[in-house]
Structure 1
Amino acid sequence: MTGKGPDPAPAAGLRSVLPANAEPWWKIPHLVTLNGYIACLVLFSSTVGYDISLMNGLQSLDQWQSFMHQPTGAWLGFVNALQSLGSMLFQPVSAWSANRLGRKRTVLIGYFWLALGVGLQVGAPDAKMFVASRMFVGIAGAWFQAAVILVTEIAYPSHRSFVTAVYMCQYYAGSLLSAWIAFGTRNMDSNWAWRIPSLMQIALPLLALPGALLIPESPRWLIRQERVGEARDILVRLHAGGDERSELVAFEMDEMMQSTVFEQSASENSRWIDCVKTPGNRYRLFLSISLGFFSQWNGGGVVSYYLTLILETIGITSVTEQTLINGFLQLWNLIMSIVGAGLVDRAGRRTLFLASTIIMLLSYILITALSGCFNTSGTAAVGTAVIPFLFLYYAGYDIAFTPLMLAYPAEIWTFSLRAKGVAICAMANYGALVFNQFINPIAFGAISWKYYFVFLAILLIVLVTVYYYYPETHGYSLEEMAVIFDGESARVTNGISAKMELQEKRAGNIPHVETV
């Protein structure tokens, strides 16, 4: 199967019912309200970004090194990996909760684990307690994963691609905050130099709390719970500004309800085995797993968690210089990832993935060559020249693998399996991350810059895989997306035909509601 996908003609149906608003969305009250809720939800991805940057910053602090008894090698890898391990192990539980309890409740449960983890970390009397706390912070990240699903399912149709792509961009809002807090506390003479950055892990999730409490549940989830009237009321209020006769709401309700019929007739009952039952789902599974692995096994893991080690190999050993470079790198990442999110619809997913991989490959070649030259010559200028190419590498990573890492699987899976599909991608991502966190410090300590050659080979594999197998999904609604993977039999129809089919095929099983 090639990665190009069919022509996105189905989008014409959606375009025909979108209101021709003369004003931008920020002048339309109901869209301001909806996007305000979403702006809060996208902050949840900051939790993981904050943690990764936090561990980078803490490794540069003598106060933390002394408290942790100078961790190195496998032990340092374990300390870093525990957060990812906690999140990976709890992804299946989070997916179950998102389907059973709802997307919104699942997000709110994450606050309990985050408060527990941050409390233990800030108050840790010894290294063992600090290490244990990282597991709970990781568990919180698993529950917060439901936020991207809720954003995907409640966003205004023409905004969905951008807001779901922006979700992972806030990963760098967390890493940026963490990097600069660590920079600000670097000269404190007590353990508060690292306790304050640890405490601030809760800052952005607290900022997101009002939106998490006020946002309604996913209309798609409500329909699956046979609460069709509630789902329609939410769409009328947030997508149509209270217009009960909105053609857009009628279109969305018809699509969602017909999609429910199709999935139930295909026996998709949200079981894990359903992820491999059909050719379309196996294709989705391949994309989700490969994207999870590729997001980590491209060399970025070396820079993300071990920037301090990299800088030391090129002669930059000052704590101030290391934390300063980390701070500016996170700001650069945030800017470039938002640029990538803005290009998702303009350039398309495939184009961004291909451009991203090519940029990363070229910059990694130069990083490897310059690092090798510095190792041989010891010339400071050669070592310093690595830094701009680190920024170039991340520009490549940020334009695709940051905004699309969860947005892509969230849109390609059908409703019944969406939570599981996102969880599978996240588990693959965290599994690759755990491997990196254990192996990278050992390999980097043993062979230094030569370790980069491994990622050069992997980046070539990523490029070939994306070119041949990653389809373009631009131009499809969530329900229309099924035609790419399941063929024409999965195409949804609209209007009266959808309601007639629903009544004929599922009379009595799913409550019907007039949508026009």
Structure 2
Amino acid sequence: MLKQTPTGTWLPAFVPESSLVISLLLMLCSLVQSSTSGYDGSMLNGLNILPSYTDYFNLTTATTGLNTASVFIGCTVGTLVSGIMTDALGRRPAIFWSSVITLVGIVLQTAAQNVAMFVVGRIVLGLGTGISGVSSGVYLSETFPSQWRAWGVGLLNDFYYVGALIAAGVTLGTGQWQSTWAWRLPSLIQGIFSILCIAILPFVPESPRWLVHEGHFEYARNSVAQANSNGDLQDPITVAVYKEIIDALDFEKKESRTMSPKEIFKTPTARKRLLIGMSAGPFSCVAGNIIASYYLGDELTTAGITDSTDQLKANVVLNVWCLACSIFGTNLAAKWGRKPTALVSEALLVICLFIIGGLSKMYADDPDHASSSLVYGNVGVMFLFQGFYSVAWTPLLYLYPPEVFSVRGLLSFIFESTSFIGTWYSIRANGLAFSSLMLNSLACVFVFIMPIGLHNIGWRMYMINGSWDIVIAILIAVYWVETKGKTLEEIDALFEDKKQSSVPEIEHIRTGRATLDAKPPSREAKI
């Protein structure tokens, strides 16, 4: 049964009565969002191997990097406006418009007649995916029940590899075609994911935290109940979650009226949250996966696999492996914790990168006499590296930042001090946007320079990446804070040293270790 549900926006909702079905729809929303990015990366991986693509555009090393990296130019611009869009329009409408923009970019990319048109199409595509990455991450983190948040939001990036696997299969299938449709068809198929996302949005509720800020208190209570208790407004979990949202947003809104941007810069807690929350983006970018994500052909060539068909087959196998590892990593993050998962992954990445660098050097020193065991051993370690990367960074990239960013914080005060933006209640959207901005800015540079670096210094690129990862592991060990098993408001208390709501922890209520005596709050006053 579907229930027509007010959303406070122009985008209507006809929400199922079952919270389980809603969670499954939200997970499906995660799937199609992340599949777009995964498809794009794997598609370009395949296209950069195809002669029909490289010859059509007469690509050089520089234009190959430009064609590939231009999507991150759009992503960077998209993240600059994504927080504002997500707060102003609502979470679901922001996802809708980002999907429309992505479709426009895909059409331009598919119809490209020259490098300039292809680059413009990819910039527009990146603009849409940049906005959707932030709006989806914020929406899902705010809407999923706490016990499902790690899985629901983790899948937002896990299914990158579903899209990647589909793209790898498509480019393998079209790779033998002699026409431009060998690369145009894979590009066109990319639009299916955005269409699916638009189709899902009318059947999921709006974020309760956004609704509370907009003054739609009853709509927010209904959204919490739909996601947590099959629509039962009197359920203790629903009452407790709603009261936490009301109390935390009320407190933090009042606090923000009395604090200036200068004072927030002076607050160690605010600086700590900003730096920890935004770190996931840059850390994941410089970990070393960009080589295999966009230039697998070049990486395999350095290892001794030079046949284009063999490289395309390796692309398919790699994405199956990474999908399995990312799902396993999501389970680790949910049961073991975010910080331990990241630390173990980083340690394994360092080991793999130094081994890859050493084996690649051995092959480069004498490629004519390199043994098959050396070649396939190097490829095996490359696959292990991508799997270890997927265990932590694939789920954590969109899971950890929105958990760490508070309902109030640095960027909201910066925005409040500017005349053209006005007042925003939350930095969760803007904070995740900042993390994504750092990621896409670095990716724009790294994706462009990687083919140049691999061509000029070869195996040394792996050694450089390994050194960076050692620094990343130390920073995670010292500064990251564990967020497993807590609601967003309870995570705030980890940083602020006190909880702004009197209700017990939600997991204690859920497991029977605590009871809730409070009546459902009735809030009509503005906060």
- Give 5+ residue unaligned stretches, structure 1: 1-27, 511-516
| Counterpart residue type for residue 410 of structure 1 | P
State the partner residue of 2:198. Answer: 209
State the partner residue of 1:156. Answer: 145
State the partner residue of 2:23. Answer: 35
| Counterpart residue type for residue 456 of structure 1 | G
Contact in 2 for aligned 1:45/1:144 (Cα 8 Å): no
| Residue-by-residue CA offset, 1:100-153 (whole Å, 9 max, x unaligned) | 111000000012211211111111122221121100110110221211211111
Q: Distance in 2 between matches of 1:112 and 1:238?
A: 26
Contact in 2 for aligned 1:276/1:282 (Cα 8 Å): yes
State the partner residue of 2:394. Answer: 402
Contact in 1 for aligned 2:239/2:520 (Cα 8 Å): no
Between 234-243 and 131-140, the greater mean CA deviation after superposition = 234-243
| Aligned equivalent of 1:80, options 54, 58, 68 | 68
Q: Distance in 1 between matches of 2:444 and 2:231?
A: 47
Calculate the TM-score normalised by the size of structure 2.
Answer: 0.86
> Are 2:132 and 1:122 aligned?
no
Shift of 1:434: 1.0
1:291-302 alignment to 2 at 5 Å?
Answer: 291-302=280-291
Contact in 1 for aligned 2:22/2:227 (Cα 8 Å): yes
Q: Distance in 1 between matches of 2:314 and 2:384?
A: 14
Secondary structure in structure 2 of the residue aligned to 1:111 = helix
Secondary structure in structure 2 of the residue aligned to 1:476 = coil
| Aligned equivalent of 1:385, options 351, 371, 377 | 377
Calculate the TM-score normalised by the size of structure 1.
Answer: 0.88
- Pairwise CA RMSD of aligned residues? 2.2
Change (3 A) 1:271 1:475: farther
Contact in 1 for aligned 2:343/2:476 (Cα 8 Å): yes
| Residue-by-residue CA offset, 1:358-408 (whole Å, 9 max, x unaligned) | 111111111111111111232042122111111111121111111001110
State the partner residue of 1:368. Answer: 357
> Are 2:103 and 1:103 aligned?
no
Q: Distance in 1 between matches of 2:429 and 2:262?
A: 14
| Aligned equivalent of 2:321, options 325, 329, 332 | 332
Q: Distance in 2 between matches of 1:407 and 1:413?
A: 11
1:186-201 alignment to 2 at 5 Å?
Answer: 186-201=175-190
Q: Distance in 2 between matches of 1:270 and 1:51?
A: 43
Q: Distance in 2 between matches of 1:353 and 1:134?
A: 31
Q: Distance in 2 between matches of 1:393 and 1:271?
A: 45
1:1-40 alignment to 2 at 5 Å?
Answer: 30-40=18-28
Corresponding pairs, count: 477
Secondary structure in structure 2 of the residue aligned to 1:402 = helix
- Give 5+ residue unaligned stretches, structure 2: 1-15, 408-425, 504-515
| Residue-by-residue CA offset, 1:336-362 (whole Å, 9 max, x unaligned) | 101111111211111101110011111
| Aligned equivalent of 1:493, options 492, 498, 502 | 502
Percent identical residues:
28
1:49-448 alignment to 2 at 5 Å?
Answer: 49-72=38-61, 74-145=62-133, 146-267=135-256, 276=265, 278-378=267-367, 379-381=370-372, 382-415=374-407, 416-448=426-458
Secondary structure in structure 2 of the residue aligned to 1:480 = helix
Between 225-234 and 286-295, the greater mean CA deviation after superposition = 286-295
| Counterpart residue type for residue 399 of structure 1 | V
Q: Distance in 1 between matches of 2:296 and 2:221?
A: 49
| Counterpart residue type for residue 403 of structure 1 | P
| Residue-by-residue CA offset, 1:133-190 (whole Å, 9 max, x unaligned) | 1001101102212112111111122111221111110111111111111001000110
Shift of 1:446: 0.8
Change (3 A) 1:265 1:446: same
State the partner residue of 2:417. Answer: none
| Counterpart residue type for residue 386 of structure 1 | N
Higher relative contact order (CA 8 A, sep 6+): 1
Secondary structure in structure 2 of the residue aligned to 1:463 = helix
Q: Distance in 2 between matches of 1:44 and 1:273?
A: 37
Change (3 A) 1:252 1:64: same
Secondary structure in structure 1 of the residue aligned to 2:164 = helix
Shift of 1:271: 10
State the partner residue of 1:20. Answer: none
Secondary structure in structure 2 of the residue aligned to 1:401 = helix
| Residue-by-residue CA offset, 1:77-110 (whole Å, 9 max, x unaligned) | 2221110111111212111011111100000001
Change (3 A) 1:126 1:183: same
Q: Distance in 2 between matches of 1:35 and 1:269?
A: 38
Q: Distance in 2 between matches of 1:169 and 1:244?
A: 33
